[in-house]
Amino acid sequence: MASNILRVVFTNGASIPMLGLGTWNSAPGQVAQAVKDAIDAGYRHIDCAHVYENEHEVGEGIAAKIAQGIVKREDLFVTSKLWNTFHRPNLVLGALQTTLRNLRLKYLDLYLIHWPQAYREGVELFPLRPDGKRVHFSDVDYVDTWPRMERLVDTGIVRNIGLSNFNSRQVQRILDVPRLPPATNQIECHPYLHQAKLTEFCHQQGVTVTAYSPLGSPARPWAKQTDPVLMEDPVVKTLAEKHSKSAAQVLIRYQIQLGHVVIPKSVNRERIVSNADVFGFTLDADDMKQLAKLERNGRLCPESFSFGHPHHPFEEEFRNTSP
């Protein structure tokens, strides 16, 4: 199956598999096996982050498959992300080294600034204020973080660098200063939240879009019973029946046909295998239009802990609703 997974080429000539395994919110104790199952199923792209607190399990899964001779390190594309408490330039290298140790790797294929807003430096990933609703901010500007990301590429311990959760204005600020432009902007993207203007801007600037939560993140911890469930949407279910595919397969295929890299998360072997079986069918023009019409600006991951931060990417969206 690995040979069936299409790749997207970055502006620097490097390429990334269009389908990857997401590892956010995966239950502890299940991640290593999920990674092993994904590699067995043909996945060669694994998406990680320090803040997920499971990179040591990802590393265990990768190491096992390399030891078995199923893959070589160079066959894999591994992504991780610089967390918000490490934006200060002198902390970037140490944060990466921690990730590499946890993943048991000597280099990353892609390293992203996870969010544009910086949090107070320290051991706490979410340094909460006394009210428990907001984090303490740091005054570091992500534009000052970027040159340190570039140095990681210079040394060879990172092959490509990029962004995550940056709005178009913030992407442009990075594009205005770099020696090395960002390879990708990883953003929430699904039929309830297309972010069409942002994705069009990124494509125009040669920045690949990576779509996270493509299935609507049904297992997100803060989901409410009254929230709409994307995979149960009548349009999605009808298209799944039309193509004799699952709702998840339709949603993943949708992102691929939009030209996006897509990283659905699962720890269930059957679903991991099923999620990769999306290169043998095509959504037609009418299917694509129906899914596009589902837009409801339904952002699922607002990072509300940092509302009020000058670099919060969605502050304008939530200005009228945030307390």
- Binding-site positions for substrate read 114
Contact between 267 and 27 under an 8 Å Cβ cutoff? The reply is: yes
- Read off the pLDDT of each residue in 183-203 and give the average, rounded to a whole number: 97
Query: Is domain 17-320 given the CATH code 3.30.160.100 in the classification?
Result: no
| pLDDT for res 178 | 84
Residue 323's pLDDT band (cuts 50, 70, 90): very low
| pLDDT for res 38 | 98
| pLDDT for res 318 | 65
- Per-residue exposure over 144-164, b if at least 16 CB sit within 10 Å of its own CB, e if not: ebbebbebbbeeebbbbbbbb
- Binding-site positions read 114
Find, among 208, 227, 209, 207, the residue nearest to 219 by Cα: 227
Contact between 17 and 77 under an 8 Å Cβ cutoff? The reply is: yes
- Nearby residues of 213 by Cβ (< 8 Å), 6 or more positions away: 188, 189, 190, 220, 300, 301
Q: Between 269-276 and 31-40, two packed helices, what is the crossing angle to 10 degrees? A: 40
Mean pLDDT of the chain: 95
pLDDT surpassing 60 at residue 3: no
pLDDT surpassing 90 at residue 87: yes
- Read off the pLDDT of each residue in 179-188 and give the average, rounded to a whole number: 97
- What's the pLDDT tens digit per position in 143-173? 999 999 999 999 999 999 999 999 999 999 9
- Read off the pLDDT of each residue in 66-73 and give the average, rounded to a whole number: 98
Q: Six-digit token pair at 269?
A: 């072997």
* CA angle at 148 for the pair 147 and 154, rounded to the nearest 5°: 90
| Candidates 43, 52, 142, 192; catalytic one | 52
pLDDT surpassing 50 at residue 320: no
Residue 236's pLDDT band (cuts 50, 70, 90): very high
- Read off the pLDDT of each residue in 284-306 and give the average, rounded to a whole number: 95
- The better pLDDT of the pair 300, 318 is held by 300
| pLDDT for res 223 | 83
Contact between 10 and 185 under an 8 Å Cβ cutoff? The reply is: no
Is residue 9 exposed (0-12), middle (13-18) or buried (19+ Cβ within 10 Å)? exposed
The whole-angstrom separation of Cα 183 and Cα 109 is 11
| pLDDT for res 229 | 93
| pLDDT for res 25 | 87
pLDDT surpassing 70 at residue 321: no
H or E element in which residue 90 lies = none
Residue 119 known to be catalytic: no
Helices (H), the chain: 31-40, 55-67, 92-103, 142-155, 168-175, 196-204, 234-243, 247-257, 269-276, 285-292, 315-318
Find, among 175, 169, 152, the residue nearest to 106 by Cα: 152
Q: How many CA atoms lie within 13 A of 46 on its CB side?
A: 34
Rg (CA), the chain: 19
Find, among 22, 26, 148, 136, the residue nearest to 84 by Cα: 136
Residue 19's pLDDT band (cuts 50, 70, 90): very high
Distances from the Cα of 153 to the Cα of 55, 66, 179, 186, 192, angstroms: 21, 24, 11, 19, 35
